[in-house]
Amino acid sequence: MAVDDSCPVCLTADIVCAKWTLLLVRDLSEGHSRFCELERSLSGISPRTLSLRLRALEEEGIVERLSYPEVPPRVEYALTEKGRDLLPIVEDMRRYGARWLGGDGRATGELAELAGVV
């Protein structure tokens, strides 16, 4: 997708413009989440698509997969430092949507702290 491989905006767009990516980052901004929690919060995403997106984000170093040796096995997903660096983009989109598109602009949790709202 990148038009110019030397352009940081193009390279970032390659990652964040993939469908569901920014919504996954938004949902993981609150901390660790299990697959079923992410599936519930992202209405309309199929389990296969969610699995593929999480795997792609893991390969990019944006999401980490945490496996716990329990019975039944428990797997959680969390943002890495690289993933947390995307939170200001999500917060800017939240503010833009609230101002220009009539969306709910309430900032919560870590996003609010990053934006200086709290």
User: CATH number for the domain including 67?
Assistant: 1.10.10.10
Q: Which range of residues forms the domain containing residue 118?
A: 86-118
pTM above 0.75, yes or no: yes
Please tell me whether residues 31 and 50 are part of one structural domain: yes
37 in the Ramachandran plot: left (φ > 0), alpha (ψ -120 to 50) or beta? alpha
Is residue 12 one of the residues assigned to a domain? no
Please tell me whether residues 94 and 71 are part of one structural domain: no
Residue of 44, 112, 42, 116 lying closest to 77 (CA atoms): 42
Is residue 68 one of the residues assigned to a domain? yes
Q: 3-class DSSP state for residue 34?
A: strand
pLDDT of residue 5: 86
pLDDT in tens, the chain (118 residues): 557 888 999 999 998 999 999 999 999 999 999 999 999 999 999 999 999 999 999 999 999 999 999 998 899 999 999 999 999 999 999 999 988 888 664 444 444 444 444 3
pLDDT of residue 103: 65
Please tell me whether residues 31 and 76 are part of one structural domain: yes
pLDDT of residue 110: 43
